[in-house]
């Protein structure tokens, strides 16, 4: 039996474990949370948690069999407990101050929820502090561990779909909160990109974090369209890849995909069109499982973390550029 890694979970809400608590046993095959993925993996020991809400803390400790509970991080620092992994799942607004205390605990890896902090400047401070302390930072841009996307990247590089002509990403609920997932995904396909134009900000999340439509371009001239939906209507996170030989769409945040191939039109002689295509399951279902496996191997076998603080910082800087430009354009607010 391999040595179990000791874990501290900070913040015991939805992404810490809540999303998996009403799913019966299905979290053990497809976990969507930190506690769910680590429990399903079996090589982690949920040693302690921090949660200011006493009822929530008790429920979390009981559900996930967590040995020790604390109402704040200072108490953990004074407890003398040591951790291999700290999962940071508190609200984003408290990440910056929480991270200072977590760094003092000197875990091997911090598995930090996105965004790392509210500003790129604070994130940069944290990334540098982790580096100086010899602590690795893994950031939960979950699709970094989605095998469908890494396989697609290989297929694109091998030219299996012909030329990549354009990418269209549709999202809502904040350029930093959710747009960061999209920018992170785009960086997996284009190493660098710049802003051609931004549209009016849509205020469908917090006042500080509007959803922003934009036209981007990669250095190689690829057009990338960011389409803003409105979070009041429904949650949406979709990415359409338009190739010379067909179209692939990641739907439902990556839970499913649709592929259509270019074929000769049976009706219009000499024309090419897209076939009926097919839907298939995506790799998002397994992403959290793969994330904690990556963390385990990063600690025990020195493997690379697939989503580092540096990548997250690059993503956050781009989100801030989009926001600055959208607000400079004198965006009219479109609440509700
Ligand atoms: N990667 C993803 O796809 C994804 C999905 C959801 C949320 N998130 C991120 O996870 C974080 C938490 O989101 P959530 O939806 O789970 O929130 P939540 O409100 O469900 O849970 C947050 C919990 O933290 C507790 N808390 C508040 N202040 C705290 C502190 N200083 N220390 C410890 N606990 C504290 C709250 O009482 C609450 O129980 C946010 O940063 C969010 O952006 C990421």
- Region 263-276: mean pLDDT is 96
Question: Which DSSP string do the residues of 46-91 spell out, in sequence order?
Answer: EEEEE-SSHHHHHHHHHHHT-SEEESSHHHHHHHT---SEEEE-S-
For ligand 1, atom 38: residue with the closest CA: 13
The answer to whether the CB of 288 falls within 8 A of the CB of 172 is no
Q: What is the CA radius of gyration of the chain?
A: 21
The answer to whether the CB of 7 falls within 8 A of the CB of 47 is yes
Query: What is the pLDDT at residue 330?
Result: 61
Burial class of residue 234 (count of CB atoms within 10 Å of its CB; 0-12, 13-18, 19+): exposed
Task: List the domain boundaries for the chain.
Answer: 5-113, 144-287+317-328
326 close to ligand 1 (CB < 6 Angstrom):
no
C-alpha distances (whole Å) from 72 to each of 35, 78, 99, 111, 306 are 19, 11, 13, 18, 30
- Taking the complete model, does pTM exceed 0.85, yes or no? yes
209 close to ligand 1 (CB < 6 Angstrom):
no
Query: Which fold, 144-287+317-328?
Result: Dihydrodipicolinate Reductase; domain 2 (3.30.360)
10 close to ligand 1 (CB < 6 Angstrom):
yes
For ligand 1, atom 41: residue with the closest CA: 92
Q: Ligand 1, residue 19: give the atom nearest the CA.
A: 16
Query: What is the pLDDT at residue 336?
Result: 36
Q: Do domains 5-113 and 144-287+317-328 have the same CATH topology?
A: no
- Region 312-316: mean pLDDT is 98
What mean pLDDT, rounded, does the chain reach?
A: 96
Question: Using 50, 70 and 90 to split pLDDT, how confident is the model at 331?
Answer: low
Question: Using 50, 70 and 90 to split pLDDT, how confident is the model at 103?
Answer: very high
Query: What is the pLDDT at residue 3?
Result: 81
For 253, other C-beta atoms within 10 Å of its C-beta total: 20
> In terms of Cα–Cα distance, which of 170, 168, 252 is closest to 212?
170
C-alpha distances (whole Å) from 332 to each of 31, 196, 199, 248, 327 are 40, 20, 10, 34, 9
> In terms of Cα–Cα distance, which of 229, 218, 201 is closest to 333?
201
Q: What is the pLDDT of residues 18-77, one digit of tens each?
A: 999 999 989 999 999 999 999 999 999 999 999 999 999 999 999 999 999 999 999 999
The sign of the dihedral angle between the CA atoms of 204, 206, 210, 211 is: negative
Q: What is the pLDDT of residues 240-257, one digit of tens each?
A: 999 999 999 999 999 999
Characterize the bridge pairing of strands 278-281 and 256-264: antiparallel
Query: What is the pLDDT at residue 276?
Result: 96
Ligand 1 pocket mutation, candidates 17, 113, 144, criterion most atoms within 8 A of CB = 113
Query: What is the pLDDT at residue 78?
Result: 96
CATH architecture of 5-113: 3-Layer(aba) Sandwich (3.40)
């Amino acid at each position: 039996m391999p040595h179990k890694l000791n874990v501290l979970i900070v913040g015991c809400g939805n992404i810490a474990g809540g999303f998996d608590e009403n799913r019966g046993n299905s979290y053990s095959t497809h976990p969507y949370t930190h506690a769910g993925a680590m429990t399903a993996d079996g090589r982690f020991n949920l040693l302690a948690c921090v949660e200011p809400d006493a009822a929530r803390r008790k429920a979390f400790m009981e559900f996930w069999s967590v040995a020790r509970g604390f109402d704040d991080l200072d108490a953990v620092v004074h407890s003398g407990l040591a951790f291999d992994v700290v999962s940071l799942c508190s609200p984003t607004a408290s990440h910056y101050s929480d991270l200072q205390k977590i760094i003092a605990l000197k875990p091997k890896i911090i598995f930090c929820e996105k965004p790392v902090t509210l500003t790129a400047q604070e994130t940069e401070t944290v990334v540098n502090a982790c580096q100086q302390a010899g602590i690795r930072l893994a950031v939960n841009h979950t699709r970094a561990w989605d095998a469908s996307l890494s396989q697609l990247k290989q297929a694109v590089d091998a030219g299996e779909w012909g030329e990549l002509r354009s990418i269209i990403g549709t999202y809502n609920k904040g350029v930093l909160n959710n747009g960061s997932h999209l920018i992170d995904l785009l960086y997996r396909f284009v190493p660098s990109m710049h802003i051609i134009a931004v549209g009016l900000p849509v205020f469908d999340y917090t006042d500080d974090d509007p959803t922003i439509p934009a036209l981007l371009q990669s250095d190689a001239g690829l057009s990338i369209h960011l389409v803003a939906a409105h979070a009041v209507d429904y949650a949406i996170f979709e990415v359409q890849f338009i190739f010379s030989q067909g179209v692939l769409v990641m739907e439902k945040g990556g839970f499913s995909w649709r592929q259509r191939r270019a074929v000769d039109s049976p009706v219009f002689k000499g024309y090419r069109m897209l076939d009926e295509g097919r839907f298939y399951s995506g790799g998002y279902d397994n992403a959290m499982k793969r994330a904690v496996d990556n963390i385990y191997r990063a600690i025990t076998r020195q493997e690379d973390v697939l989503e580092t603080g540096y990548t997250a910082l690059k993503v956050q800087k781009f989100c801030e550029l989009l926001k600055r430009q959208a607000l400079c354009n004198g965006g009219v607010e479109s609440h509700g």
